[in-house]
Structures are given as structure tokens and as C-alpha cells.
Amino acid sequence: MEFVEPDDEPHRYRELPAPDDRVWRHPSEIGLPRPSGRRQLWAVGLASALAASLLSTGLAVLAGNLLHAGDGNGRGASTSGVLPVPSLAGARADIVSIADRARPATVQLKVDKGRGVSGSGVIFRSDGHVLTNAHVVEGATSVTAVLATGREVAARILGSDTDSDIAVVKIEGGPYPAIELGSTTDLKVGQEAIAIGSPLGLSGGPSVTVGVVSALHRWVRTRTGQSLMDMVQTDAPIAPGSSGGALLDAGGRVIGITTAVAMTDTGAEGFGFATPVEAAKSAAEQLIATGKVVTVWLGVEGSDLDGATAQTLHVDGGALVERVKTDSPAERAGMTARDVIVSMNGAPVTSMGMLVVAVRSHRPGDVCTIEVVRDDQRHAMKVTIAERPPGS
């Protein structure tokens, strides 16, 4: 199977190309799938690199298939342009109403990387700040935002963070309609999810697809060993060019920035992944303020606690510490190899992935309480989170 590469440019096509040159097929051209032997599952996107020993899903990710396609600190931007959203109140989503509100805040990003490629973005501040993926704008010499009305506006990159795969671009003018950032805190598997973006560089404004939240806290790995962590998984269809678009809840609030789509050797697997809005907002705030994201660390390496040991220790899971780095926050707090981290600030930690995400939610200088199991006894220790030293 041929994969859509990051720099492919489907929006250049103005007339029907030959079947072998297309990333889509007319229904009349689709036959029964041929049996395949070993199916390889890839997910698309870029994210932060982690040691392979920390990964537990076994889901391989192909960087590039999803066509590389919060408000900040509350100062310097009006929030009057934020579009109102209704209370969820347990009701099903009004898709038409949500689409009417979300489309004006969704942009197509035309990115020049030597040749034109296409991605998506979400206006989250009325002064023209746009959230997108780092891989969408990586290597760009120029960026143009196409509004839902079709008007093109020059954009500049304020900064990007490859660890979270989040970037912020600024479009001039305004005020613009901005959509509200929500939360994944109370998100449940099975809730409705609405994806909005600009697939395949098509003209005519953003596209809306509907599905459900099919899983939470997913970890998927790129073929180069890079990782997408704590992903929101959805079966809402996500096409190339939608990377950097929004995943919305039933109230029309952003719960994630679409980053990846799973594929097999026979085509799309039918589910995609979004970076949680909390991670996107944290990265965006720092990028707007300083142009970079500070990476924090605990200073441990390890793996997920196996089921048998978890049962013996009477815990639901945990992060097994295999190495504590010299002069790290963990070492200064007294953590040692073979400790099992089971909670952080009272919130359960059932895997190494959950630990990494929990640590990343903090800033340098934050003091956290980490509970570990050591020699069948629970111990609480105070850890001061620090910025990761270069090369560590």
C-alpha cells in the first residue's frame, strides 16, 4: 500500500486524475479488498520521543499519513469573540448547531515547504491566535490561513513544540470568531465526538464528521520510536489535511487537536487520535508568552507494572522505576530503583504513560506528592519538579 506522505498536495488537483495518482476512489472503482497476510497497523502524526521501554500499546505509527494534512494568560486578547456553547445537560449533540458555531473558527492552513501542503487550525482567541499541529508548520517558509468564508489571510508562526505536536500561528486582523476550549477531565468512552477540519485541501470551507470517543489515554508509537501520549481516540472520520483541526464534545467545546489516524495495509482503520486540549492549551500558553515550551522532568526511567506484581501489591497498576537519574528531582526526593509509583497529588498512576502525562502538567518549581510502594509498604515523598537539563 502507498501511504499519503506529509508533503503530498491533494488540493492541487482540479480535475479527475488517474486512479493510481489519487488518494481517493470513485465508488465504481472500489472492489472487494484483497486478502492480506500480516496486517500492519500504523497511526499517523508526529509527537515527542520517549524510550521504547516506556511504551505499552504496540500500536505502530506512521509519521506523515495525516496530511501534515486556551486562552493564554488572559491578557492582551479580547474574549468577546468566543462563541457561546450550551450546557451539555445530558442531551445529545445538536450537530447542525455545533457545525454552525465551529466552522467560522476553523481555518485551512496553506503551508509552503518548497511545495504547498495543507493542514487545519482552530481559532481559539479572538485576536487571531490559531492552534494547529507542529508537524503541519514544520519547515514552513510561509503560512496562509484560509477562513471559512474563503478569504485568505497571512499568518506567522509564533512557535511550535514537537513534544506535544502543538504549534500556534497568528493571523492578522480581527476580531475573529473563536471557539471555546473545553476539558477531557470528565470525558467518557462512548460520548459523542465531532471532528472538524479542512480535509484534502478542498475548497468550500471546513468539513464536519461525527463519531464517539472510542478510547482514552491511548499511547501510540511511530515507526521511528516517537510517541503520541494520552491520546483521545475517536471513530469520527479524519482525512488527510484535517491534522490540526478540532475534536469537539457534545457542547461544541474543543476536547482535542486531531493529530493522527490509524491505517493498515488495506486502508484507513477507522479511528483517529487527538492531543488532549489540556496539553494543547498548556503548550499554547507558553508558546504565546515565550515562543517555546519548557520541558519538565522527574528523572526516572521505567515501565508499566505487570499484572501479577500489581495483584501481589494490591494495586490497580503503577509505574515501575527501573532507573533514577543522577541529580534529578526523583533522586533528590529519595526515590530508588524498584519503587512503584502509584499516585501523584492523590490522582492514581497506573502506568508509565500516566506518570509522564501527570508530570508534564506541571511547571518547574511545582512541589508534588508522589506515593510509591517499596517493600510492600506505601511511602509518600515530596518532589520538586524541575526543567529537564539539556541532553538528559
- Active-site amino acid positions: 135, 165, 243
What distance lies between CA 43 and its chain's CA centroid?
12
C-alpha torsion 96→102→103→109, nearest 10? -150
Nearest to 151 by CA among 131, 127, 173, 124: 173
How many residues would you count in the chain? 392
**Amino acid at residue number 268:** A
d(CA 204, CA 304): 47
As to burial, measured by CB atoms within 10 angstroms (0-12 exposed, 13-18 middle, 19+ buried), residue 339 is buried
Q: What is the number of H-type helices and E-type strands within the chain?
A: 6, 22
The end-to-end CA distance of the chain, in Å, is 38
Q: HSE (CB half, 13 Å, CA atoms) of 297?
A: 19
d(CA 238, CA 218): 17
d(CA 216, CA 196): 19
